[in-house]
Structure 1
Amino acid sequence: MPANDRVEVRFPVSAAMAGTARFRVAGVSGGAADATTVELPVYTPATSESFATYGVVDDGAVAQPVLAPTDVIPQFGGLDITTSSTSLQSLTDAVIYLEDYPFESSDALASRILSIAALRDVLDAFDAPGLPSPSELNAAVARDISTLVAMQNDDGGWPFWSRSRPSEPYNSVQVTHALLAARDAGYAVPQSAIDVALAFVHDIEQHIPSEYSQESRDTISAYALHVRMVGGDRDIAKAEQLYSQRDGDLPLDAIAWLWPVIDDPAIDAEIERDIGNRAVDTAGAVTFTTGVADDAYVALSSDRRTDGLVLDALIAVRPQSDLIPKVVSGLMAGQRQGRWDNVQENTFILLALKAYFDAFEAQTPEFVARVWLGEQFAGDETFSGRSTERDRITIPTAQLQELGNTDLVIAKEGTGRVYYRIGLRTAPADLTLDALDRGFVVSRSYEAVDDPADVSRDADGTWHIRAGAR
């Protein structure tokens, strides 16, 4: 090196993984020496891609083809396999939310009755912590029944808050539903209150105010038909007439309530197709798209409640549908602090999950789940008794590339049902990707504050920003 000069020496390096890269540079000249240490952060790639599939194993095994990822960063991501013996995570907080709900409106009281009457056995099966004792829950239901019976108007309906106020159509239908559920669960309910309530529900159209939108009127009418069926009065003709009058153009809540009542094969097939078309399938869940009328509040509508209603209908009419476990996954993932957003959502989702438990998880799990990737054994897990625990196996991306294209096999030995999710997460080697287009795209641009020449962009989309520029 010439005296009083400097030389730049470059060493090409690449990061093996995310974290902090450290290197030391030392210089020696005669008897003098010096050194410095440099630390550079290596971030997780900002751009990643995720794919997932999920399903169940009732008997034997299932095989899922796995293609080795290409053009990806091998140090990032991998294949995650999650297995469990139940699709239901803790439901305790949702029930506690309804139990502790401070407002005693007719719909809130009905919601508490519906959920406790339906969920007692399920919560006992999972030994749910934090829940009031069975005697406390039974006392709460009995108290709520007495309050609702005292609140009932002479026309058989219910107001929001106090007797002699106008009967609210939706509230009246839901309270009738709750009293029927309580009676069927063994609680004491005056038959006279049920009889006059069913008469109100039978003629629900006469009690719906004229200012209600057609969507809200149809939703309440459909719920009334559903509740009549729960009470043993299945009016197939009226249900099919309501569907045909609107040519199937009904709110999804109404369709979900009508579907179990309808008997016509053509309408049945049309509803199944419509629900499939409205399903939004993502890597982690299935939800449903539906329009919302300006006065949707009169039927206390919400998106999550719709998902719960559709799940309940699918279990009743299409128990073999592969949408069912996906909808359950979506509902469980949508919990916040262990519950959903409001009284209606918690109630109807809990009812749907109770139906799911009865249909698919009646057997107490006693099995071993095993996983193979190609010829390699990936792991196993024993499930004994009811539990919400989940087992997770992760196979790094680099190992997937070494194995090449192969099959992932999940097998079950014993009684019960295996729920699985197979998720692949990778980071593309080329971090410049086209924007996701779902009818609209999001783009980002940069502009210099001081000098426009400080920022430029190449034709391939690469940005150049002068160091220190604002």
Structure 2
Amino acid sequence: EVLAESRVSANGAVGPLAAKAELADDAFAQGKGDFAPANVRSDFRDTILWLPTQETNDEGIADVVVTFPDNLTEWRLTARAITLDDKVGQDSYSVKTSLPVIARLAAPRFFVRGDESSLRVIGQNNLDMDLIARIKLEAKGLIIQDPLQSAAIISAKNRATADFRIKADETGTALITATVLTDQASDAMQLPIPVLPHGIKDNIAWASSNSDSWNFSIPLSADPNTVNGKLFISPSLAAAVSPALSYLAGYPYGCTEQTMSRFYPSVLASQAGDLAMLPDEILDNLDDMVAKGLKRIYNFQHDDGGWGYWKHDDSSLFITSYVINGLLDAAKAGYRTQDYSLNWAIEYLERALENPVSTDNYYRVVDADSRAYAYYALARAERNIDGLGKYVGTKDMSSYGLSLSVLAFAEAGRTVEANLYLDELLSRVSEFDTVAFWKSEVPRYYWNDDQVEATAYGLNAIAKLRPNDPIVAKIVNWLLLERKGDRWYSTKDTAAIVKAALDLAKATNEEAKDLLVTASLNGQEIYSSRLTGQSAEGIEVDLPNLDLNKNKLVVNVEGQGTIYSSANIEYFAEQDSYQATTDGLKIKRTFERLEPVYDKKNQNYIYKRKPLNDAVEVGDYVLVSVEIDPDDQYRYAIINEPLPAGFRVVENDQVFKIN
């Protein structure tokens, strides 16, 4: 209604709405059947064409056929060229696309179900003559509450408008067509506009392994149009080993950790038989890769027997323990290692463990975890680990160190203690419907500040003692979801996951797959396929025709191997009013109207904040304040603060001086 009070005339001045003149019935009927046909424009793009490798002919000319989309606007064409002898140049050209008569639509970018709004159809006459026009609106997915068409006279080089009241009654995507018909030329444009649910997004989820079933219910308050379900069928974690090995092997030599991570996991995989397939480029060059890696590792060893990140920095319990583990496994795989170098490193660990415990509250957890790693390396080297009992299970040790302590006790044959601390480790896990993982509980940027690696070591500990624990499926699912293509976040955590995957595969007797996997939903088969070999790719299956209320999903696996399944159902549950809830964060949102007051002294406007207790109108500015009150420490929080329909964010809000 506010927009309808003014219009922009052909010369850009704002004036009263006069272009939309009422027509007598006989005048409108006179031209009723003589309208020109309208082509519906629906292809609206910002970029028409991108040709990065266009070549010219011998005369330096290249012809390109360009089909313009339906946007009526000014386009900029830019060409950049380079010759074989490295001469460069560029040029640009502008061209406008237009029509004699144009239909435009003024509408919000989205609606919320239940919204009532006014849509405006604008008819623009670019001809030098007045036109009798019919202005129409069609809307699939919306209820139009006014007559579907309006008559108008559009003067030459001017425009006319018609407003149509609508109601968004169903969620989904509304398809809106605005049409302007005249006897000289006509036009129509079509836009899809989302209709969002008036509700809160929620979900239910499930995870399991091999054959299993899931009975679940979707609340009756859920909007059926918003229910969306997916089933994810993932290969075993070992299936991700092959592409990860290619990433690690291709990583350039760098620090001690990166050098070790480059060949160590491939050595493990080479001893795993059918559990992992070594890529051909690694298989053909593994011996040379190990020899070069060991040479560099020995060259980086410090005078005290330990290793740091580099050749001339301080030795580190973490890095020395990691190298010792790698040397032990390389020797086990048959590679020639230097015994004196290994013994020298072990002696460094034993001396370093005699140093006093850190009294720095900030660093204590780093110190405790590094000692756990050292005792794990000593246990694998068949040395005494009695000193571990002073640190394990204390508040100073994070889940990272606790996992390594469990592994150390298990390696030493002390299964009672290993199982005792595994129970404690499991009590710390963050477990949800489909995933489980261990959080980083250490200061930022230290070696052990890595929840992916901490979770890999936790999985290692479970695989050692309880490989069939139901939580394994959730841990594997989380690790697979954290994967970034063929790797995880770093060489360090990728190498840790490769080791965990191979240890789990050995513990559960996994072999190369030859599986028939079928899935059914409410008695109807939705997926069936045979999986062979160690595929690295997961499978995503839609869950169609979900019922509000009771559903049953069944996954059946036949054959040799392991499959991990998870399912997620998302929906919006609608209700008339909502109460504030909290789940770790309390969030308060406040709307205030900004009222401009002119400051004569400084010759600018200052905006006063006023409570927003009534309707807003076109042109009003609204200030949104969001307050966050966490009940715990978080490294970051992502807040989604939805816009009300019809609003836009003011991009450059620094010009606002707010009192």
TM-score range, shorter chain: 0.7 to 0.9
Q: Does residue 546 of structure 2 align to residue 400 of structure 1?
A: yes
2:511–2:560: 8 Å Cα contact kept in structure 1? yes
Q: Is the 8 A contact 2:235 2:534 kept in 1?
A: yes
Q: 1:429 aligns with which of 574, 577, 584?
A: 574
Residue 379 of structure 1 contacts residue 393 of structure 1 at CA under 8 Å; is this kept in 2?
yes
Map 1:319-468 onto structure 2 (within 5 A): 319-360=467-508, 362-396=510-544, 399-401=545-547, 404-430=549-575, 434=579, 437-450=582-595, 456=612, 464-468=615-619
Counterpart of 1:55 in structure 2 is: 208
- 2:459 is matched with 311
In 2 relative to 1, CA 234–347 (structure 1 residues): closer, same or farther, beyond 3 Å?
farther
**1:117 corresponds to which of 259, 267, 287:** 267
For the residues of structure 2 that align with 1:11 and 1:162, how far apart are their CA atoms? Answer: 74
Q: Residues 84 and 159 from structure 1, CA distance in 2 versus in 1: closer, same or farther, beyond 3 angstroms?
A: closer
Task: Name the CA shift for 1:370/1:284 in 2 (closer, same or farther; >3 Å).
Answer: same
- Of 206, 209, 219 in structure 2, the residue corresponding to residue 69 of structure 1 is 219
Inter-CA distance 466–454: structure 2 relative to 1 (3 Å threshold): farther
Per-residue deviation, 1:191: 1.9
- Where does the alignment leave 5 or more consecutive residues of structure 1 unmatched? 28-33, 459-463
Work out whether residues 446 and 455 of structure 1, in 8 Å CA contact, stay in contact via their aligned partners in 2.
yes
Aligned to 1:256: 403
d(CA) in 2 for partners of 1:414 and 1:337? 28
What letter corresponds to residue 620 of structure 2 in structure 1?
Answer: A
Report the equivalent of 1:469. Answer: 620
For 1:238 and 1:187, how far apart are their aligned partners in 2? 31
Whether contact under 8 Å (1:169, 1:207) holds in the other structure is no
Q: Which structure features the higher share of strand residues?
A: 2
C-alpha distance after superposition, 1:220-256 (max 9, x if no partner): 2211111122223363x33334326x3x642222111
**Structure 2 unpaired stretches of 5+:** 1-21, 26-144, 148-163, 597-607, 622-659
Q: Deviations over 1:29-63 (max 9, x none)?
A: xxxxx998775612454852222111112xxx422
The structure that is helix-richer by fraction is 1
Higher relative contact order (CA 8 A, sep 6+): 1
Secondary structure in 1 aligned to 2:223? coil
Q: Cα distance, 1:421 vs. partner?
A: 0.8
What one-letter code is carried by the residue in structure 1 that aligns with 2:345? A
In 1, distance between residues paired with 2:427 and 2:326? 32
Relative to structure 1, the CA distance from residue 251 to residue 8 in structure 2 (aligned partners, 3 Å threshold; closer, same or farther) is closer
Take 1:334 and 1:208, find their aligned partners in 2: how far apart are those partners? 37
Change (3 A) 1:97 1:394: closer
Tell me if 1:176 matches 2:332: no
**Structure 2 equivalent of residue 214 of structure 1:** 364
Aligned AA (1:175): V
What SS does the aligned partner of 1:465 have?
coil
Counterpart residue number, 2:351:
203
Shift of 1:444: 2.9
Contact persistence 1:49–1:427 (CA under 8 A): yes
Greater radius of gyration (CA): 2
The 1:11/1:406 distance shift into structure 2, 3 A limit, reads same
Q: Could you say what secondary structure the match of 1:180 adopts?
A: helix
Alignment partners' CA distance in 2, 1:414 and 1:354 = 20
Q: TM-score if structure 2 supplies the norm length? A: 0.59
Structure 1 pair 435–182 and aligned structure 2 pair: CA distance change class (3 A) = farther
Q: How many pairs are equivalent? A: 446
1:41 aligns to what? 193
Q: Quick check: 1:21–1:39 contact (8 Å CA) kept in 2?
A: yes
Matched position secondary structure for 1:21? strand
Pair 1:446–1:91, CA change in 2 (3 A): farther
In the alignment, residue 203 of structure 1 is paired with which amino acid? R
Identify if the C-alpha distance between structure 1 residues 410 and 128 changes in structure 2 by more than 3 Å, giving closer, same or farther.
same
**Distance (Å, rounded) in 2 between the aligned partners of 1:226 and 1:361:** 25
TM-score, scaled relative to structure 1: 0.80
Partner of 1:31: none
Could you tell me how far 1:328 is from its partner in structure 2? 2.1
